[in-house]
């Protein structure tokens, strides 16, 4: 689960968050062991891909958090972990019931600036490009704030896949670094992601 401090950062204020996108369910992964290693001396860049939609578990009732991602990266064939190029988009959405009984949806679209992968795990970071109009992330949008998400894509029969959200930076923290995200601690309750590790 997201800790209280990060949850507050993710929600931003009492009145926030949400999204609605629908992709096919199903959780698939291609592990590092299944990826083809580049022959010695090969100069062809390796690539990784992460795509899908899912709803994550959230411990407070009347909250619906969804994450959609379409991220890609190329890597130096000699094995550096940091990608030479990353591209794509992801969306964080949170639908929340307000005290008056109405629902409020806060969402943010982010441009991918880093995708890293390793076996059944991945991290994605990106900067805000669009948000809910007049939503709680207006100041973060002006600063092109960066957010990060981690992914653990479980093999079939190995328990739930999980994701972890950084939320926005707290006051005084500065910007989140590229390629960084918290542990993937929140299980998926619907949907899934396809992860193809470097090959």
> At residue 60, does pLDDT exceed 50?
yes
Mean of pLDDT values over 94-120 = 94
Q: Looking at the predicted structure, is the pLDDT value of residue 73 above 60?
A: yes
Structural domain span for residue 53: 4-34+45-196
Residue 199 to residue 197: CA distance in whole angstroms: 6
Tokens 């600063």, located at residue: 143
Pairing status of strand 186-196 against strand 28-30 = parallel
- The answer to whether residue 39 is domain-embedded is no
Which residue would you say has higher pLDDT here, 180 or 168? 180
82: alpha, beta or left, given left = phi > 0 and alpha = psi -120 to 50?
beta
Any domain includes 151:
yes
- 136 within a domain of the structure (yes/no): yes
CA-closest candidate to residue 120, choices 89, 83, 85, 150? 150
120 in any annotated domain: yes
156 assigned to some structural domain:
yes
Whether residue 74 lies inside any domain: the answer is yes
Pick the residue with more confidence: 105 or 19? 105
Residue 152 lies in a domain: yes
183-198, pLDDT tens digit by residue?
A: 999 999 999 999 999 8
Torsion of CA 198, 177, 169, 21, to 10 degrees: -20
Flag whether the pTM goes above 0.95. Answer: no
In this prediction, residue 96 carries a pLDDT of 92
Residues 87-112: what's their mean pLDDT? Answer: 95
Average pLDDT over residues 84-102: 94
Q: What's the mean pLDDT when you consider all of the chain?
A: 81
Specify the number of domains making up the chain.
1
Q: Where are the beta strands (DSSP E) in 1-120?
A: 28-30, 46-56, 63-75, 85-97, 103-118
Question: Is position 40 within any domain?
Answer: no
């Amino acid at each position: 689960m997201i800790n209280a401090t990060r949850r507050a950062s993710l929600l931003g204020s009492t009145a926030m968050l949400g999204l609605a996108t629908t992709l096919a369910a199903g959780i698939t992964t291609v592990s590092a062991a299944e990826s083809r290693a580049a022959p010695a001396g090969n100069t062809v860049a390796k690539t990784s891909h992460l795509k899908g939609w899912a709803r994550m578990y959230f411990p407070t009732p009347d909250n619906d958090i969804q994450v959609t991602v379409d991220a890609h990266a190329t890597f130096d064939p000699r094995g550096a972990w940091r990608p030479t190029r990353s591209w794509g988009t992801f969306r964080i959405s949170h639908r929340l019931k307000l005290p008056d009984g109405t629902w409020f949806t806060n969402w943010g679209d982010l441009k991918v600036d880093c995708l890293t992968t390793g076996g059944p795990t991945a991290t994605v970071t990106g900067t805000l490009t669009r948000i809910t109009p007049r939503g709680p992330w207006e100041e973060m949008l002006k600063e092109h704030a960066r957010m990060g998400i981690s992914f653990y894509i479980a093999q079939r029969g190995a328990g739930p896949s999980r994701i972890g959200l950084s939320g926005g930076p707290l006051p005084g923290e500065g910007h989140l670094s590229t390629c960084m995200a918290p542990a993937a601690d929140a299980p998926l309750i619907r949907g899934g992601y396809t992860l193809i590790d470097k090959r």
